[in-house]
Amino acid sequence: MPQGSEQHAIKYQKLVEIFQHKGASECFFDPANPTDPKCNFEYLGGVTEPNLPQSYVRTGLKMGLTDQANPALHKNPLQMGIVGATDDHNGAPGNTREDTWPGHVGVNDDTPALRIRTTAATAVGFNPGGVAVAWAEQNTRDAIFAAFQRRETYATSGPRITVRLYQTWDQTTNFCADPSFPSQIIAAGGLPMGSNIALPPNYTGGAPRIVVFAARDPLTRADVANLAEVDLVEAWIDPTTGAVNEHVAQRLAPAGGVATTCQIFRLNGQDGVDTFHAGSPSFYYARVLQLPTDRWSVYDCLAVPPGTNPECDPGGKLSIRVSERAWTSPVWYLP
């Protein structure tokens, strides 16, 4: 980043797009070394442009930690909240259903046959797009933009999944038992997604807790399903080596999934979660996955004559199921 531009980035660069109809941008996927296999979701992987780790959101967030840990800079110009987008060219943002998707660019892809045609090398990699969600006190322009400014936002790959993430130092209260979640954790001083973790007064040790509540899309239709998994994505500066470490803590739902889930991650090195290091910059965000459902291309393949595209056959890249998902903005610890 050019010298002097960091402060401009801190002031104006509040959000980053993690998903849209041209694919997902959460994290780089290396088939030879799939450290996080779930990065391979709606992944174009260099089809439309060079495929570099620096093109992905998680890499940028980790670069921000490195800048924060650099004594010469000691600021994070890449502290960005998460949003999604439909990127619709038909003037219909939010039209993200897999089972009724009409395409994105008018007469260029307004029929099933056009959307799965073999002559369009990249079209079959596209998807209906995502949505951005802001936790705002009111459905007004001022309230929504205020939520954008404080990064209290999340993204989904299309379904209307609900997700809330809070950080708390309370070690004992079962906030998941709160029937009106998150009222209890807010009253106890919990910080929402987009916030900075602050050490409590007279801190002498201990680990913060991250509480994630999620609910499935309430609609009943072919492309939405119960929730299958809640992941906490962690990254931190190793206090010994200075390198950026990354880890994904997984919490799987029972077979058949769940309509709602609440998970508490204590950053104490137990239960699959890594250890919080006071003095080392870090961030934490949640990723919530649905059970797999048919992709839009499955429905289009059923709507065209057999043999239209061999990729419609079982095992082809058009005959697949996907795990739709949501991503929250992180919470950061930036000493």
C-beta separation of 210 from 284 below 8 A: yes
- Residues 139-156, mean pLDDT to the nearest whole number: 98
Count: domains in the chain: 1
Verify cis geometry, omega within 30 degrees of 0, for the bond prior to 314.
no
Task: Give 11-35 pLDDT, tens digit per residue.
Answer: 999 999 999 999 999 999 888 878 8
Give yes or no for residue 121 having a pLDDT over 80.
no
β-pairing verdict for 81-84 and 15-20: parallel
Domain membership flag for residue 101: yes
Mean pLDDT of the chain: 93
- Residues 179-193, mean pLDDT to the nearest whole number: 96
C-beta separation of 42 from 127 below 8 A: yes
Domain membership flag for residue 71: yes
β-pairing verdict for 244-252 and 191-192: unpaired
Domain membership flag for residue 251: yes
- Residues 152-156, mean pLDDT to the nearest whole number: 98
Full domain range(s) for residue 272: 6-333
Task: Give 245-299 pLDDT, tens digit per residue.
Answer: 999 999 999 999 999 999 999 999 999 999 999 999 999 999 999 999 999 999 9
Domain membership flag for residue 1: no
Domain membership flag for residue 228: yes
Percent helix, strand and coil across the chain, each to the nearest 5: 20, 25, 55
Q: What is the DSSP letter of 221?
A: S
Specify burial of residue 304 (Cβ count, 10 A radius: 0-12, 13-18, 19+). Answer: middle
What is residue 257's three-state secondary structure? coil
Angstrom CA distances, 280 to 196, 242, 275, 333, stand at 13, 9, 11, 8
What lies within 8 Å, CB to CB, of 256 at 6+ separation is 226, 291
What pTM does this model have?
0.95
Task: Give 31-52 pLDDT, tens digit per residue.
Answer: 887 889 999 999 877 666 678 8
Residue 97 has a CB neighbour count (10 Å cut-off) of 18
What lies within 8 Å, CB to CB, of 332 at 6+ separation is 76, 79, 195, 196, 197, 281, 282, 283
Could you give the CA distance from residue 236 to residue 24 in angstroms, rounded to a whole number? 23
| 83 vs 105, higher pLDDT | 83
